[in-house]
Amino acid sequence: MNTANIKRVACIGAGTIGSSWAAYFVTKGISANIQDINDEILKKAEEQIMGHLRSLLVYGVINEEQMQESRKLLKFTTNISEAVSDVEFIQESVLERYDVKEKIIEEVDKYTSDKVIYASSSSGLLATRLQQYSKYPDRVLVAHPFNPPHLIPLVEIVKGKASEESVQTAASFYKSIGKIPIIINKEVPGHVANRLQAAIWRECIDLVLNGVCSVKDVDSAVCYGPGLRWALMGPNMIFHLGGGDKGINGFLSQLQGSFETWLADMATWDIFPDDTGEILASGLKEEIGTNTINDITKWRDSKLINILKDLNLI
């Protein structure tokens, strides 16, 4: 399918992720049919979407006219056939459970053509298992966003047994609306980005539990050091630059041995130590100080928008 033909998307499931996706689609001029199980949830979703649109307005990402136009592109329904029958693309963000997604996929099969892509926002379910629930496995894939999808550009597309055409159509659709899709050719738990987060978080926790530094300081080590560069480039490129004229091979010849010593000493556990929650919560109390969670969330989103603007990603 030509991605230019994708003018209307169904957002199935209107919780945290579905509402954020819907806000994103409408600001890109794509109509969003938003479906969830009851009117009360849809009302809350509408409030959330309007909240996202207002914050984009406040931070200068959209203007008043775009806000009004975006609002007109929203349609809410509890009826799945109504939500999917006139769309060219489906972004499903229902509960992270196979049985719930199975029912949705079966319903969607009844009311859409096999050309309509079914993209699941799933953080960790297997694309190949979701594909088994459909009569048209070719069109089913995982398209995992990062929270909140109306701000963070990454979308991880897990192919499983989807057709190459579906994967390429989904990737070019996301690109056309300003997302950065990556294609995951082989299914692995946690896709790619969450595995990276897990690896870094495990080491952060381990450093704290071992008394190497405080929660606040380990967070500072990430965000005032490598994290600043990570917003611009990945570790491979960073170390390629670190090798100067000799690039990555120069870097490895100088530092491979040191990295190996560090790696040999680093955490390898895969069950969280018992007191992790308590120790992190107490460290975070110090890190947060007199701010509220809401203050920090607003601060994070406004700074994030500045970075995205600077990188022409919003």
Residues near ligand NAD (CB under 6 A) are 12-18, 35-37, 41, 93-96, 100, 103-104, 121-123, 144-145, 147
Closest Cα to residue 14, out of 37, 127, 25?
37
* CB-nearer residue toward ligand NAD: 16 or 172: 16
Q: How far is the CB of 45 from ligand NAD (least distance, A)?
A: 7
Q: How far is the CB of 140 from ligand NAD (least distance, A)?
A: 14
Q: How far is the CB of 239 from ligand NAD (least distance, A)?
A: 28
Say if residue 84 is exposed, middle or buried (CB neighbours under 10 Å; 0-12, 13-18, 19+): buried
Q: Kindly list the distances between the CA atom of residue 11 and the CA atoms of 20, 87, 90, 108, in Å, as whole numbers in the listed order.
A: 10, 10, 6, 12
Q: How far is the CB of 89 from ligand NAD (least distance, A)?
A: 16
Closest residue to ligand NAD: CB criterion: 15
* CB-nearer residue toward ligand NAD: 1 or 80: 80
| DSSP secondary structure of 136-177 | -GGGEEEEEE-SSTTT--EEEEE-TT--HHHHHHHHHHHHHT
Return d(Cα 188, Cα 271) in angstroms, integer.
Answer: 18
Are 90 and 84 in contact, with CB atoms under 8 Å apart?
Answer: yes
* CB-nearer residue toward ligand NAD: 41 or 67: 41
The β-bridge partners of 181 are 155
* CB-nearer residue toward ligand NAD: 94 or 116: 94
Closest Cα to residue 115, out of 89, 145, 141?
89
Return d(Cα 188, Cα 225) in angstroms, integer.
Answer: 29
Q: How far is the CB of 157 from ligand NAD (least distance, A)?
A: 13
* CB-nearer residue toward ligand NAD: 98 or 239: 98
Q: How far is the CB of 95 from ligand NAD (least distance, A)?
A: 5
* CB-nearer residue toward ligand NAD: 209 or 304: 304
Q: What is the residue whose two structure tokens read 């489906």? A: 90
* CB-nearer residue toward ligand NAD: 37 or 237: 37
The β-bridge partners of 11 are 34, 91
Amino acid (one-letter) located at 254: Q
Amino acid (one-letter) located at 126: L
